Structure 1
Amino acid sequence: MPVDLDGVRAYFARGPLREDLLAAFIVSVLLIPQSLAYAMLAGLPAQIGLYASLLPLLAYAALGSSPVLGVGPVAVLALMIAQGLGELPAGVAPSEGALVLAAETGLILAIAAWLRLDALASLLSVPVLHGFETGATLAIAFSQLPVLLGSRAHGFDLPALWQDARQGGFDWHGLSALYGLGACAALLAARRWLAGTPGRLAPLLLLLGTIALAWHSDALSRGVALVGALPRLRLELGLPRLDGALWLALLPHALLVALMAYVSSLVVAESLARRRGEKVDARRELAGLAGANLLAAASGGMPVAGSFSRSVLLHDAGSRTRASGAFIAVFMALAMLLLAAPLAWLPKAVLAATIMVAVLSGLRFEPYRDAWRYAPAEGLLMLAVTALVLLVSVAAGLALGVLGSIALLLQRTARPHVALIGRVPGTEHYRNVDRHAVECLPGVLGLRIDESLLFTNARNLTEVVQGFLQQHAGTRRVVLLMSPVNNIDFSGLAALQELHQSLARQSVRLDLSEVKGPVLDRLRASGWQRWFKGQVYLSHHQGMMD
């Protein structure tokens, strides 16, 4: 594909270069504490979060489709990574496991893009996604509470955290707690009273202020846990550990990480695209995330996805193109070169505060109430997913969500909705007899099938129609209005043939009306004329009056 040199010149001359540079600078300075915090949340050395915020951004800028999706370490994935790395075989360092997990995630997403599996996003319904995010948010907050207070207890779900606290005692360190709680108060105050650029820069100012305070007061000698010295910026490109047993052990976790990374990123990208009047290419999002994770695996990083907070910030800061992601990577590299020494004095309690304030700011419980009012079964599934994520594991909650969504779908479609319809007086319109005042013809039964005939519901078609026949003795013809039917699979074809034969044995003729063109083409291609003896009418009114 040739490079549009005129477009490149226009971009640097009078295009959106200035907006992209400004947006990248604002986001990159805030990305430093966030990247450190999420690596720590995943149980990894802090610098891995920084490495995951460099080359992966270049890959997404080249392959993705959203101009504002901020790719990098994210809180929910960090929690999933932590739980996956907790099951590593003996002798495998967490950083090695993270590289393998990122490589597997990238390969899974690349295969999905190649196979055009964009519909993967539909595996997680809105109730499941919200239940999962709420459970993960609470789990993250609880996991950071000991760090915030300077306690040695740790765990990534409530039972593990409670067990560790009971065994070792939930001790806490006064000065560390002061740093953590003070940082929380400062961040919350900034969110409430500072708007615009000052509000956006508040986390960075807090970071620099606590670093200076910790250094001036020699916080390390007073027992405050610090981030510690970071290694010098040294991206060593290479393959992750090639150990078949390790790759196999992490594969189930990689499948869940890949699914969550894609679904959550696509939700963020599409929501911001709607605000901007733009479109997002779902397949290119798969490709962009695949490239980002593969480069993370090759450059000492961890699995990455699109971050809601970072993406909103890019949008608000005025990002115009995906080039802002490449600029962020450059600014991040400069920051690592210039700020490595000062960051060693950053208290871990302050990082925990930035995580807790960031994740809890998006916590909402209204969807539980709304889902319960509209669809109690979906509200119950939402609550169950939240509880399982919080009390068992992220993997268990995600698995329940996918299986629960499928089960609800099957339950809703297991019995096709068939309505008895009659003519609205003086018109050629036909409506449900239970909802409208209509006229019905003696001896002719008009029925409307309100969904496609698929393997999930087709076997009950004959039973449903026979139920109407029992209530209308003397019926000579049944006319099925097929306009709502978009598809008939082989099970549906078999059910239609069974209904035809069942009615024929009762000397009742089966006719169809308003069959959609593609559906009728498939029926004809199957040779259904061999057994179908009824008529196919262009309009339902014609079929009823014939």
Structure 2
Amino acid sequence: MRLPSTWRADLLAGAVVAVLLIPQSLAYAMLAGLPPQVGLYASLLPLLAYAALGSSPVLGLGPVAVLALMIAQALAGLPAGVPAEAGALVLAAEVGLLLGAAALLRLDALSSLLSVPALRGFENGATLMIAASQVPVLLGSAAVGFTLPDLLLSARHGGFVIASAAWGGAAVALLLLSRRAGPRLLARLAPLGLLVAAMALSAFTPTAAGVAQVGALPSLALPLGLPSLDKALWLQLLPPAALIALMAFVSSLAVSESLAQRRGEKLLPAAELRGLAAANVVAALSGGMPVAGSFSRSILLHEAGSRSRWTLVFVAAFMLLAMLLLAVPLAHLPKPVLAATIVVAVLGGFTLRHYGEAWRYARAEGLLMMAVTATVLLWSVGAALALGVVGSIALLIQRTARPHMARIGRVPGTQHYRNVERYAVECQAEVVGLRIDESLVFTNARGLADVALALVREHREKVGVPRRVLMLMAPVNHIDVSGLVALQELHAALAAEGLRLEFSEVKGPVLDRLKAIGWLERHDVSLYLSHHDGIQAGQHDLRPSLADMDAPGQL
């Protein structure tokens, strides 16, 4: 990458985002059950890898809260004697390799496995669980757990430390006050300022007596090297790594696509896969943890004026500087203050509004959102993510299991044809106008003939006895083999009732496939360039041949 002419804007945006990334890197490493320096390592070289291969100029890459919770659950089951840092490196390597394989196989469509309700339900559930998991740290309690039942059960057997509660409560209050009372820039600088003030107060006064601290850190030199090659460890962590990889890609792509639309830029999902894969592999080789795109940091990059991926290079440079300056003071950082930054950060994006909107618009999707959230809180993030994927696919199959077809007629005085149930239209007795509103694929093909025959009977009862069935095919983008068989069954069923099947406005790619196997000639199906032509053709006994439809650009 050559230094662009916009480097000044990128440099400024990099400095602003690094301010937010420093406390988040420390906090999310702790949330994952890892030493704080792991979060810093994950915010250096992985950013350079994404900058080289990714496509978004505003994706704020690094440790993220949701992934940190998933990592913590994955590492909780490590065999005795295996350090959490070693497990995190294996997870990062597996996430990177899985995303890399998906990129090679061009599986960027994997992002569609999670519907928006499932994704929001997962993120909200993870947000609540992250905040709940940090309450014991705020209070100095020994309670631990990755679900609400485990956390509550653990809390029954331990008390809290008044000094820790005071530090944590004060930190939360100051962070909330900075968000409400100060300008936006102050709110973003507040977490870093709070950490610096807490480190100074803890180091030079006795006020932190009895409060857990981060403790002495090892040398913050990048531990370059391969992760553990223990086969059993890799096999054990592979299932959670697959879920983390899916979540990392889906959430990162959702963020980058949203901002790309705002900025009028083109995003390349395949490049995003490559960039995330490279970033996670590099994290595994440089002492880090799995990384993904953060919504809050990405928004900040956008608002700070980032113009190219050089911003991430500058972020990494500022992070390196922070590592050199903070190595000694970090030992005095009280853990309740770090926990406070996590709680305020994650709850800042929580809202119940999405549940109400989804419930009012589509109850099944609203229920899925609530079920995924409850599963995160009561069972595990892995089960919640699996439920989100399965539920999204199930709802898709349910919606497409019966093809939507409408009987249509002409709007008086025009050549437009609309649903007879919604508009006052004119219908001719001798022809049944039908419009199929989706592609014909294996999920909905079986119901095609039944739906069409029901509409033909309705036409016969209300309008008159028809001789033809003219299907408006403009909404059909694809017909698979199951759909083709369904059309053949429909043709045979109509023929048994003395009705002729005809098509209008067939799209070019669909028509090419039908012509390739001679389906239209074999079944003597007439084609019309417009539905209006097909309706009028019966009055003049006009039936165009296939040759009439061959003019380039007609269909």
Give the alignment's TM-score, normalised by structure 2. 0.93
Secondary structure, aligned partner of 2:327: helix
Q: How does 1:32-431 map to 2 (within 5 A)?
A: 32-166=22-156, 168-169=157-158, 171-218=159-206, 222-431=209-418
1:469 aligns with 2:469: no
Given candidates 521, 526, 529, the residue that maps to 1:538 is 529
Amino acid at match of 1:136: A
- Whole-Å separation in 2 of the counterparts to 1:96 and 1:456: 45
Q: CA deviation at 1:530?
A: 5.6
* Conserved 8 A contact 1:25-1:331: yes
Amino acid at match of 2:196: L
- Whole-Å separation in 2 of the counterparts to 1:39 and 1:352: 11
Aligned to 2:490: 499
Once the two structures are superposed, what CA deviation does each residue of 1:301-334 show, in whole Å capped at 9, x if it has no partner?
A: 1000111122222223332221121122222222
Amino acid at match of 2:324: L
Aligned to 2:501: 510
Amino acid at match of 2:505: E
Amino acid at match of 1:447: L
**Bigger Cα displacement from structure 2, 468-477 vs 232-241:** 468-477
- Whole-Å separation in 2 of the counterparts to 1:512 and 1:543: 8
Secondary structure, aligned partner of 2:297: helix
1:520 aligns with 2:511: yes
Residues 197 and 449 (structure 1), Cα distance of their counterparts in 2 relative to 1, 3 Å cut: closer
Once the two structures are superposed, what CA deviation does each residue of 1:145-172 show, in whole Å capped at 9, x if it has no partner?
A: 0001110101121011112112x23x11
- Whole-Å separation in 2 of the counterparts to 1:365 and 1:196: 23
- Whole-Å separation in 1 of the counterparts to 2:390 and 2:473: 31
Structure 2 residue runs of 5 or longer lacking an equivalent are: 539-555
Q: CA deviation at 1:139?
A: 0.3
- Whole-Å separation in 1 of the counterparts to 2:514 and 2:330: 69
- Whole-Å separation in 1 of the counterparts to 2:308 and 2:477: 39
Amino acid at match of 1:74: V
Secondary structure, aligned partner of 1:246: helix
Amino acid at match of 2:535: M
- Whole-Å separation in 1 of the counterparts to 2:412 and 2:305: 59
Given candidates 475, 478, 490, the residue that maps to 1:484 is 475
Q: CA RMSD in A?
A: 1.6
Q: CA deviation at 1:271?
A: 2.2
- Whole-Å separation in 2 of the counterparts to 1:327 and 1:432: 57
Amino acid at match of 1:155: G
Q: CA deviation at 1:529?
A: 3.9
Secondary structure, aligned partner of 2:22: helix
Q: CA deviation at 1:22?
A: 2.5
Structure 1 residue runs of 5 or longer lacking an equivalent are: none
Given candidates 426, 429, 446, the residue that maps to 1:439 is 426
Aligned to 2:545: none
Secondary structure, aligned partner of 1:68: coil
The number of residue pairs the alignment matches comes to: 533
- Whole-Å separation in 1 of the counterparts to 2:525 and 2:302: 59
Amino acid at match of 1:148: L
Secondary structure, aligned partner of 2:271: helix
Secondary structure, aligned partner of 1:21: helix
- Whole-Å separation in 1 of the counterparts to 2:403 and 2:106: 30
Secondary structure, aligned partner of 1:363: coil
* Conserved 8 A contact 1:497-1:531: no
Given candidates 438, 444, 447, the residue that maps to 1:457 is 444
- Whole-Å separation in 1 of the counterparts to 2:476 and 2:192: 57
Residues 459 and 452 (structure 1), Cα distance of their counterparts in 2 relative to 1, 3 Å cut: same
* Conserved 8 A contact 1:128-1:385: yes
- Whole-Å separation in 2 of the counterparts to 1:201 and 1:114: 40
Secondary structure, aligned partner of 2:328: helix
* Conserved 8 A contact 2:29-2:68: yes
**Bigger Cα displacement from structure 2, 141-150 vs 532-541:** 532-541
* Conserved 8 A contact 1:227-1:346: yes
- Whole-Å separation in 2 of the counterparts to 1:252 and 1:23: 37
- Whole-Å separation in 2 of the counterparts to 1:320 and 1:212: 36
* Conserved 8 A contact 1:28-1:332: yes
- Whole-Å separation in 1 of the counterparts to 2:525 and 2:305: 63
Once the two structures are superposed, what CA deviation does each residue of 1:174-217 show, in whole Å capped at 9, x if it has no partner?
A: 11111111000111111112214433222222111111111123
Q: CA deviation at 1:133?
A: 0.8
- Whole-Å separation in 2 of the counterparts to 1:513 and 1:275: 38
Q: CA deviation at 1:37?
A: 0.8
Secondary structure, aligned partner of 2:332: coil
Q: CA deviation at 1:475?
A: 2.8
- Whole-Å separation in 2 of the counterparts to 1:21 and 1:519: 50
Once the two structures are superposed, what CA deviation does each residue of 1:212-243 show, in whole Å capped at 9, x if it has no partner?
A: 111123356x2110000111122222111112
- Whole-Å separation in 2 of the counterparts to 1:413 and 1:199: 47
- Whole-Å separation in 1 of the counterparts to 2:85 and 2:384: 25
- Whole-Å separation in 2 of the counterparts to 1:469 and 1:304: 57
Secondary structure, aligned partner of 2:435: strand
Q: Runs of 4 or more off by more than 6 Å in structure 1?
A: none
Amino acid at match of 2:321: L
* Conserved 8 A contact 2:520-2:526: no
Identity percentage over the alignment?
A: 66
* Conserved 8 A contact 1:232-1:337: no
